[in-house]
């Protein structure tokens, strides 16, 4: 179920390979057509964004408009906004899982 579409800036991705397998992060920028820079604001800060191959990521439908807007306006985003985006994504997936379970 590997989604090979190029993720948008501010989009949440699930990490499929590497030491962060299973974690989620936010796309900060595109390195080229095969790599993006990601961070979660917690273990992986904005200033040490991780370069990841797209085949090692699964794009999620959630896009953080706060992160996308901040990056477009300032070229950077706070780690707090990244953590908030990840938290909002986790809340939305937990809510969806609970609704499906009923």
**In DSSP terms, which residues pair with 51 in a beta bridge?**
37
- pTM, two decimal places: 0.90
> Is 90 a residue whose pLDDT tops 70?
yes
- Which pLDDT score, from 0 to 100, does residue 101 have? 65
User: What confidence tens digit (pLDDT) does each residue in 41-87 have?
Assistant: 999 999 999 999 999 999 999 999 999 999 999 999 999 999 999 99
- Three-state DSSP class for residue 51: strand
Domains detected in the chain:
11-94 (2.30.30.140)
Measured CA to CA in angstroms, residue 16 lies from 30, 55, 59, 71, 88 at distances of 18, 8, 10, 25, 20
pLDDT band at 95 (very low <50, low <70, confident <90, very high): confident
The DSSP bridge pattern shows strands 11-15 and 50-53 to be: unpaired
Helix, strand, or coil here: 57?
A: strand
Q: Provide the sign of the torsion angle of the four alpha carbons 74, 38, 52, 7, taken in this order.
A: negative
The C-alpha atoms of residue 46 and residue 2 are separated, in whole angstroms, by 25
């Amino acid at each position: 179920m590997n989604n090979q579409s190029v993720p948008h800036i501010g989009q949440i991705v699930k990490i499929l390979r590497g030491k962060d397998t299973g974690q989620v992060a936010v796309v900060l920028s595109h390195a080229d057509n095969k790599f993006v820079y990601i961070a979660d604001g917690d273990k992986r800060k904005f200033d040490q964004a991780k370069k990841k191959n797209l085949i090692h990521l699964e794009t999620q439908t959630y896009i953080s408009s706060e992160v996308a807007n901040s990056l477009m306006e300032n070229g950077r985003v706070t780690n707090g906004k990244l953590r908030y985006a990840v938290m909002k994504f986790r809340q939305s997936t937990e809510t969806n899982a609970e609704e499906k379970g009923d």
